[in-house]
């Protein structure tokens, strides 16, 4: 049979030319069995690396970016999340004037179906959007107590690009809105299996804990020796505001009744300090009025002198003679020392003559 080479268009078949053998190729073929044996011996000694034999099926891609006006801590947190999630993509900062529905188009252009968007307001408040683009649902959080990897300097460490375990609080299964958030967090933070940029190792854990009506995020390293946990970072707290049916909008599925906006929190703090100042001023005014009031003179009570015992009167002695002066011992010692010194000098001068 002759080897044939088919063209993509048309049914014509073209015969493939046989490659010509040179003298160099003939020599290399004669030496090839010796080289093959050496290669086999080297392969036996070396340890094979982890080979990805599976197929990449879960095509989750996360877009992580922010609006303009974020501070340095938010920027570092965003970079830490991109480093921990190998299936994430980055984009330029979005202008504040643009509406949030534009993010769905950005996700479509970047070929991403999930999004983490950081929205900064007043250069001090940070909001995080977790969205399933373009159909929803989406959740809006207030981010508090941010601590980045560079700031914490913890002892934990993990391989870059390794797949994490996700640990959730049992309270996520008790309420419906928490179970919805659990599914959204699983789809966003779990690295797909056999992802090209991921490593086939599991050496750290993402923990999501519910405490004080907030979600606390932590990242821990798994130590192989005794299965202990050492924190790596970053860490932050998510305070849920609302859950929407659509992506970055739509009907509200859940609204947190325990949520208090940062503006209201700052207003309460200012009102407490103002109340303290007003109370101090009122106390000062009362003290001034008391000083201006006329003093009430009470009549003399005759029973006051019942327990008063008269003291014995001492006779006053007048000294008519001048007292003798006190002897100054220090001056006396100095005079004696000077005399002795003069005497010694005279004796020394006589011996010298």
Distance of alpha carbon 189 from alpha carbon 138, whole angstroms: 15
pLDDT of residue 134: 87
Mean pLDDT in runs of 10 for the chain (353 residues)? 47 46 48 63 59 72 93 93 92 89 92 94 92 92 93 85 92 94 94 88 92 94 84 93 93 94 93 94 92 83 81 82 83 91 88 73
pLDDT of residue 169: 94
pLDDT of residue 128: 95
pLDDT of residue 22: 54
pLDDT of residue 195: 87
Q: What pTM was estimated for this model as a whole?
A: 0.66
pLDDT of residue 53: 58
pLDDT of residue 228: 87
């Amino acid at each position: 049979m002759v080897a044939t080479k088919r063209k993509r268009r048309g049914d014509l078949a073209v015969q493939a030319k046989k490659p010509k053998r040179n003298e160099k190729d003939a020599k290399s073929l004669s030496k090839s069995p010796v080289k093959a044996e050496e290669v086999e011996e080297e392969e036996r000694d070396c340890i094979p690396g982890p080979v990805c034999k599976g197929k990449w099926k879960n095509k989750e891609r996360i877009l992580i970016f922010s609006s303009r006006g974020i501070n340095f801590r938010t920027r570092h947190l965003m970079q830490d999340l991109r480093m921990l999630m190998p299936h994430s993509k980055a984009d330029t900062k979005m202008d504040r004037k643009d509406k949030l529905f534009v993010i769905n188009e950005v996700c479509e252009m970047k070929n991403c179906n999930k999004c983490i968007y950081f929205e900064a307001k007043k250069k001090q408040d940070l909001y995080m959007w977790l969205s399933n683009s373009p159909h929803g649902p989406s959740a809006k959080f207030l981010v508090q107590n941010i601590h980045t990897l560079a700031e914490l300097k913890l002892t934990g460490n993990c391989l870059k690009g390794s797949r994490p375990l996700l640990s959730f609080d049992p309270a996520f299964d008790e309420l419906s809105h928490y179970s919805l958030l659990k599914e959204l967090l699983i789809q966003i933070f779990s690295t797909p299996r056999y992802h090209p940029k991921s490593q086939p190792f599991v050496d750290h854990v993402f923990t999501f804990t519910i405490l004080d009506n907030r979600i606390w995020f932590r990242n821990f390293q798994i130590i192989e020796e005794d299965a202990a946990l050492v924190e790596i970072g970053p860490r932050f707290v998510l305070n849920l505001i609302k859950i929407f049916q659509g992506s970055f909008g739509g009907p509200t599925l859940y609204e947190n009744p325990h949520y208090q906006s940062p503006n209201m929190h700052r207003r309460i703090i200012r009102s407490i300090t103002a109340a303290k100042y007003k109370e101090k001023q009122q106390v000062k005014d009362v003290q001034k009025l008391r000083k201006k009031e006329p003093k009430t003179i009470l009549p003399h009570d005759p029973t006051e002198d019942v327990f008063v015992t008269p003291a014995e009167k001492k006779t006053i002695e007048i000294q008519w003679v001048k007292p003798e002066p006190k002897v100054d011992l220090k001056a006396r010692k100095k005079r004696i020392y000077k005399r002795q010194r003069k005497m010694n000098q005279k004796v020394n001068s006589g011996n010298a003559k």
